[in-house]
Structure 1
Amino acid sequence: MLKAELRKKYMQKRKALSIDEAFLLSQKIFENFIGYFKPEEGEKVHIFIPIQKFNEIDTRIFIQDFLTRKIRVYVPKIVDDKLINIEINQNTVFETNSWGISEPVTNEDSGEIHFHYVITPLLYCDKKGNRVGYGKGFYDGLFQSISPETKKIGVNYFDPDEYIDDVWENDISLDYLVTPVEVLSFLNGLQ
């Protein structure tokens, strides 16, 4: 299927989830992530803050756990059409931007490129690790700028089913996908 078709299909599937269903599935995704990757104190995790109107995975569960366990947390913020990485802590002040996204008030880019994990938002991921996001390319740009050792991890309510037919040359695939059911690795050419 084409990205545009998959984007529409999976946005509708996601919006069909109730608030309670989305939270329970997010909790299972979190548990699968922790059980598989076992992040440790001092490690650095880049993670998105959920856009609630899009019914995204509730990553606030992850963020609270990470901060409690002294795992360093970085979140994205778009400033002048560029994604920057801001380190947050329990005292970070947030505001809601014009798109309804909660983000740190500060625009100070951490400059960090050596993350252990980048937990990536997406609408769909196929069995090769190719992903469909919102079509802005911010995460492809992020993936190009970070350390190649960083584990690129997608989180999704839904398992891969269909292949993406219009993968572009500059698209960067994920290393892993975490769903409520399992963790899939694409590092060994999973087909």
Structure 2
Amino acid sequence: MLKADIRKKYIKKRKTLSDDEVFLLSEKIFSHFTNFFQPVSGNKIHLFIPIDKFREIRTEIFIDYCFSNSIRVFVPKVMGKNLISVEIFENTIFSTNDWGISEPVSDLDSGVLDFDFVITPLLYCDSKGNRVGYGKGFYDYFFENIPAKTKKIGVNYFNPDENIDDVRDNDIPLDYLITPTAVLSFLGEK
């Protein structure tokens, strides 16, 4: 299936989820993350802030956990055509950008690239770790600049059921996908 068709299909599927379902499924995904990866104090995690209108996974659960366990949290901020990583704290001030995404008011790029985990937004991920996002390519460029040892983790409500037919050479696959029912590795581990 082509990315454009997959994008339409999974945006439509997400719209059918109630607020309660989004929260419950997000909690299951979060539980799989903590049980499988067992993040510890001092880890650095890059997380996205969910876009409500796209019914994205509620990463606030992850953020609260990180703050409670002394795990450093970084979030993306779009600056022109680039994605920077801003470190956030419990008192960080946010505003909504032109796309309806909540971002830190600060434009200060942390300069951190050696994340332990990058939790990545997506609409769909196939059984090879190829992802379909919103079509802007921010995360492919971002992935090019982080160390290979950083775990690139997608989170999604849906399991991989179909292949993406138009994967490009510059598309960088995920290492893992977490769904409400499983943690899938694309590294040949576990």
Structure 2 counterparts to residues 176-187 of structure 1, below 5 A:
176-187=176-187
1:160 aligns with 160
**Superposition misfits of 4+ residues, deviation over 3 angstroms:** none
Q: 1:189 and 1:29 mapped to 2: Cα distance?
A: 19
Structure 2 counterparts to residues 110-121 of structure 1, below 5 A:
110-121=110-121
Q: 1:189 offset after TM fit, Å?
A: 8.4
Structure 2 counterparts to residues 17-96 of structure 1, below 5 A:
17-96=17-96
* Structure 1 stretches lacking a partner, 5+ long: none
**What is the number of equivalent residue pairs in this alignment?**
190
Question: Any conservation in 2 of the 1:128–1:189 contact (CA below 8 Å)?
Answer: no
Structure 2 counterparts to residues 75-154 of structure 1, below 5 A:
75-154=75-154
Question: Any conservation in 2 of the 1:122–1:154 contact (CA below 8 Å)?
Answer: yes
* Aligned alpha-carbon RMSD (Å): 1.1
Q: 1:138 and 1:80 mapped to 2: Cα distance?
A: 11
Q: 2:136 and 2:110 mapped to 1: Cα distance?
A: 22
- Which whole-Å deviations, capped at 9, do the CAs of 1:153-182 have from their partners, x for residues lacking one? 000000000010110000000000000000
What fraction of aligned residue pairs are identical, expressed as a percent?
A: 63
Q: 2:44 and 2:17 mapped to 1: Cα distance?
A: 31
TM-score, with structure 2 as normaliser = 0.98
* Structure 2 stretches lacking a partner, 5+ long: none
TM-score, with structure 1 as normaliser = 0.97
